Structure 1
């Protein structure tokens, strides 16, 4: 990575299960478009999108309704000229028909491809599990199936890596012939801060890029509170691309709660600028990612 290259800013608009009754996460297509526009105006050119059920009282639950996906993606694109849509595909179990239907309906420029399996755990302060221990299962057959669909849709995969062994697996996928054909960089996302995955640690972040396929483009997803912001600055200094949003944190660098995605992306843009980097325009982001203009 060129440490002086423009920084692509990604906004993770809403996340998977966050309760909109307690936190300011968007749920409806109109809300997603409004939040995307605020993030876009602050410098984000990629919108990472999860879908939520639209029925009253169910906005904290995920949806794989392809008609909803189409409506939400269209609203975001209308609000943000040139924006790059990155659709989530994360699902537990072997049935990937929901994410596949959404990919085929919307054909996003990018989609998350979870690159390995993780025991997904979190403890409360009293030692009880925050949720029943679960396995976020992403065996090779499942990864390959997603990659095949993404190839059919003209969608570039962004490999989500929750642990060091998963980071290293991406190079094994390349050597096994699973990655897209040469001509665009491999995109990887270091997910740091999940309690049972990689910690949000600047020293660890500095080591991770060496295990990626040659010429890879990487970013860091940092989950936590105000303590994540020094690591964002480290990512910017190392030449990584940057991501934040209400999926990842509710807290600004000064510890105050963010009222929406716009202020979080504004803070992320300052991290890039403090590292001597400009914020990528939509055209620059497409060129760096190897996407059509």
Structure 2
């Protein structure tokens, strides 16, 4: 399904990136400033990771509801009408931290990691970049996240790291896991994780055929400048667009991005070249089936 309006999402900061080495925002004030730059460039949605606020620990994730509240309140104040999309990814069966943050800040959207993945990366010398691990998202865990989202009136964005996970989402919907009032089915094709789907325009073009009825989709593309032709293909195929310092530090010309605003400006240019206007927050809410 093609959509004339393109929703732009900014992934403001990621997981484990050291702010002493890369210019990622950590504090509420930094997150708000980066969000404002992205908002001015056309981002209707802010994908929010939370980091520990103590000096020297800003590369580590936080699941403190007070941190979530401070960060989200600062972003909402800086970007009137913006849509908040909160991360939820945790290893293991305990979802207490993400659930507490969802209940505190009531984001409009929350990530729902829709399947498990061997999360691997290999260095050039053949050594593991980190110990091989499983990003575990069994159906029971997915159901528990969806129950919290339903309780709080939150729309799930199904994160799909591989083709089988894309197909699983259709089964979740058919099985009734996506309840009425939670918006349209929304898929996020995550491409570029070394052990997941590659960032490949030919593969991307095949994926929409596996969506359930009335679904929206977007792509999250992880890498360097090679991701930008695939962003362009997303725009041409009718998908929604996401970028930010969580996903890349590089602009289409290969230069380093100075911040999130430049990355969203580049996404907006992808949409324009495909003949699509950028959706406002109100238009994005309507497309996703969210409350106005």
Measured against the shorter chain, the TM-score band is over 0.9
Partner SS for 1:220 = strand
Rounded Cα–Cα distance in structure 1 between residues aligned with 2:148 and 2:182 = 19
- Summarize the alignment of residues 62-101 of structure 1 with structure 2, pairs less than 5 Å apart: 62-101=61-100
Decide whether the 8 Å contact of 2:155 with 2:182 is kept in 1: no
**Cα distance in structure 2, aligned partners of 1:71 and 1:159:** 26
The reply to whether residue 291 of structure 1 matches residue 290 of structure 2 is yes
Determine if contact 2:155/2:183 at 8 Å carries over to the other structure.
no
Map 1:141-156 to 2 at 5 A: 141-156=140-155
Taking the aligned partners of 1:237 and 1:258, their CA distance within structure 2 comes to 24
Q: CA deviation at 1:64?
A: 0.1
1:258 counterpart = 2:257? yes
CA–CA separation in structure 2 for the residues paired with 1:38 and 1:268:
13
Partner of 2:278, secondary structure, is coil
Match of 1:102 in 2: 101
Map 1:1-293; keep pairs closer than 5 Å. Answer: 1-3=1-3, 5-181=4-180, 184-293=183-292
Structure 2: distance between partners of 1:12 and 1:202: 21
SS, match of residue 124 in structure 1:
coil
Q: What 5-or-longer segments of structure 2 have no aligned partner?
A: none
Q: Are the equivalent residues in 1 in contact too, given 2:8–2:268 (CA < 8 A)? A: yes
What is the Cα-based RMSD across aligned positions, in Å? 0.9
The CA deviation at 1:48 is 0.2
Higher mean C-alpha deviation, range 63-72 or range 178-187: 178-187
Shift of the alpha carbon at 1:2? 2.0
SS of 1:243 mapped into structure 2 = strand
- Cα distance, 1:184 vs structure 2: 3.2
Measure how far apart 1:292 and its partner are.
1.6
Structure 2 length-normalised TM: 0.99
- Counting matched residue pairs gives 292
Report if aligned partners of 2:182, 2:290 keep a CA contact under 8 Å in 1. Answer: no
Cα displacement string for residues 209-253 of structure 1 (whole angstroms, at most 9, x for unaligned residues): 111111100000000000000000000000000000000000000
Deviation at 1:38, TM superposition (A): 0.2
Cα displacement (A) at 1:182: 6.8
Runs of 4+ in 1 over 3 A off after TM superposition: none
Deviation at residue 16 of structure 1 after TM alignment: 1.0
Q: Which runs of 5+ in 1 are unaligned?
A: none
